[in-house]
């Protein structure tokens, strides 16, 4: 199955204005706001859709309160889309919309959809090359500086689920996802194809046996954009959940924020890229393996004098 990644995530929420402000401040582009719906995009065209929780066009909620109501996966061709429809129709109800989008529900009760992808290839991500002693990669060029983050992509989504094994079987055997790594007895990281970023979806087994959104990860260019973006975003009053830090599984840098639409939203960068030769890891899910390092409450902007100064300019 030629699934290329997340094309859209749709939320059902009570306070559209607050969540729209969140994603505007977070750095997504607002493409439309009409009829009680907001549409935001990352740089590659992957989307966040905000709708009122009582909108009758939404799939039924799988958790109480605000939260994700549907994940739309982008597919490379209409031929592949038809193949997915035939496969899923073997044992579940599949609805095909007039525009060709197909809809169903996964084993955890999460509504999922598939459409011909609307993602665009990024021409130049513009990241800063890193110089190391005796190994310069940026010559006669100053580094890139950021005043905020502008996410490139909706990179991954994470759910708490009652049965991670059922999720793994469905996404791997029915949709062609590939296992990247495990948290032993706790979770599984899946990517959409053998050659892909570390994970497109991560399922964590929930101790209460319920399904809920954990977080959505938004890829940015480099650690400099992540830090600048997090500082700017928190400066607008949004609260850090955890970060910044660096994960052990996936190797990426992260900064998570509480999201009024449900769950958390994460800036991430520099995650592992996998091929057919990737060796699946099996990690102890102990809290100490969550991160190589992490800050608990963000970074405060420095307002003092640098060590080269003794007084302020008059």
Domain with residue 164: its CATH number is 3.10.180.10
Tokens 């928190």 belong to 234
The β-bridge partners of 197 are: 273
Q: How large is the average pLDDT for residues 293-314?
A: 80
**Average pLDDT of the chain?**
94
CB 231 within 8 A of CB 273: no
Domain boundary among 58, 89, 116: 116
Host domain of residue 177: 153-294
Sheet hosting strand 281-283, strand order edge to edge: 281-283, 178-183, 187-191, 201-205, 153-161, 212-219, 264-269, 253-258, 240-247, 291-294
Regarding predicted confidence, which is higher, 124 or 221? 221
Q: Domain check: are 166 and 228 in the same one?
A: yes
pLDDT for the residue 34: 83
Residue 313 has pLDDT above 70, yes or no: no
Say whether both 157 and 90 belong to one domain. Answer: no
Average pLDDT on 111-131 reads 89
**Angstrom distances, CA of residue 237 to CA of 204, 209, 294:** 29, 33, 21
| Residues 106 and 157 reside in one and the same domain | no
Q: Is residue 141 part of a domain?
A: no
What pLDDT, on a 0 to 100 scale, did the predictor assign at position 36? Answer: 82
- Per-residue confidence (pLDDT) for residue 311, from 0 to 100: 73
Residue 138 resides in a domain: no
Q: Which residues contact 56 (CB under 8 A, 6 or more apart)?
A: none
> Where are any strands of DSSP class E within the chain?
3-13, 29-34, 37-41, 47-52, 67-75, 95-96, 102-105, 111-116, 153-161, 178-183, 187-191, 196-197, 201-205, 212-219, 240-247, 253-258, 264-269, 273-274, 281-283, 291-294
What is the pLDDT averaged over residues 285-303? 89
**Same domain membership, residue 27 and residue 83:** yes
pLDDT of res. 1:
56
Region of 74 on the Ramachandran plot (φ > 0 left; ψ -120 to 50 alpha; else beta): beta
Query: Is 312 contained in some domain?
Result: no
% of the chain with per-residue pLDDT over 90: 86
Among residues 152, 191, 154, 158, which one has the least CA distance to residue 262? Answer: 158
What are the distances in angstroms from CA 91 to CA 86, 117, 125, 160, 167? 10, 25, 41, 24, 15
Whether residue 109 is found in the same domain as residue 29: yes
- Both 262 and 157 in one domain: the answer is yes
Same domain, 80 and 174: no
Containing 228, the helix (H) or strand (E) segment is helix 223-235
CA-atom Rg of the chain in angstroms: 20
Within-domain flag for 302: no
Q: Distance between CA 260 and CA 264 in Å, rounded?
A: 8
On the question of a cis peptide bond just before residue 150, with omega within 30 degrees of 0, the verdict is no
In this structure, are 160 and 289 located in the same domain?
Answer: yes
Same domain for 89 and 183, yes or no, is no
* Rounded Cα–Cα distance for residues 145 and 310 (Å): 26
Within-domain flag for 256: yes
DSSP 287: G
Do the domain assignments include residue 146? no
Q: How many domains is the chain partitioned into structurally? A: 2
Run of H or E including 79? helix 78-88
- pLDDT for position 238: 97
Asked if the structure places residue 130 within a domain, the reply is no
Residues 78 and 21 in one domain: yes
| Domain assignment present for 242 | yes
Q: Do 105 and 200 fall into the same domain?
A: no
74 and 167: one domain?
A: no
């Amino acid at each position: 199955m030629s699934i290329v990644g997340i094309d859209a995530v749709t939320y059902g929420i009570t306070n559209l204005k607050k969540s729209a402000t969140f994603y505007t401040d977070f750095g997504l582009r607002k493409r439309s706001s009409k009829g009680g719906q907001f549409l935001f995009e990352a740089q590659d065209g992957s989307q966040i859709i905000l709708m009122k929780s009582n909108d009758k066009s939404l799939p039924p909620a799988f958790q109480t309160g605000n939260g994700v109501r549907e994940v739309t996966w982008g597919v490379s061709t209409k031929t592949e889309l038809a193949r997915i429809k035939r496969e899923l129709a073997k044992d579940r109800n599949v609805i095909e919309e007039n525009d060709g989008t197909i809809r169903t529900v996964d084993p955890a009760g999460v509504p999922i959809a598939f459409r011909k992808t609307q993602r665009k290839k990024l021409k130049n991500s513009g990241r800063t090359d890193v110089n190391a002693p005796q190994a310069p990669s940026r010559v006669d060029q100053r580094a890139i500086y950021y005043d905020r983050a502008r996410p490139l992509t909706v990179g991954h989504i994470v759910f708490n689920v009652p049965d991670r094994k059922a999720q793994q079987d469905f996404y791997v055997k029915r949709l062609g996802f590939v296992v990247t790594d495990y948290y032993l007895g706790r979770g599984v990281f899946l990517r959409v194809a053998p050659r892909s970023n570390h994970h497109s979806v991560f399922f964590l087994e929930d101790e209460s046996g319920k399904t809920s959104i954990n977080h959505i990860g938004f890829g940015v260019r480099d650690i400099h954009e992540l830090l600048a973006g997090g500082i700017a975003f928190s400066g607008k009053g949004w609260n850090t959940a955890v970060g910044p830090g660096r994960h052990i599984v996936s190797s990426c840098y992260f900064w998570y924020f509480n999201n009024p639409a449900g769950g958390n939203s994460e800036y991430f960068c520099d995650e592992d890229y996998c091929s057919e030769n990737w060796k699946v890891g099996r990690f102890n899910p102990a809290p100490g393996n969550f991160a190589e390092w992490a800050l608990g409450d963000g970074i405060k902007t420095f307002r003092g004098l640098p060590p080269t100064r003794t007084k302020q300019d008059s």
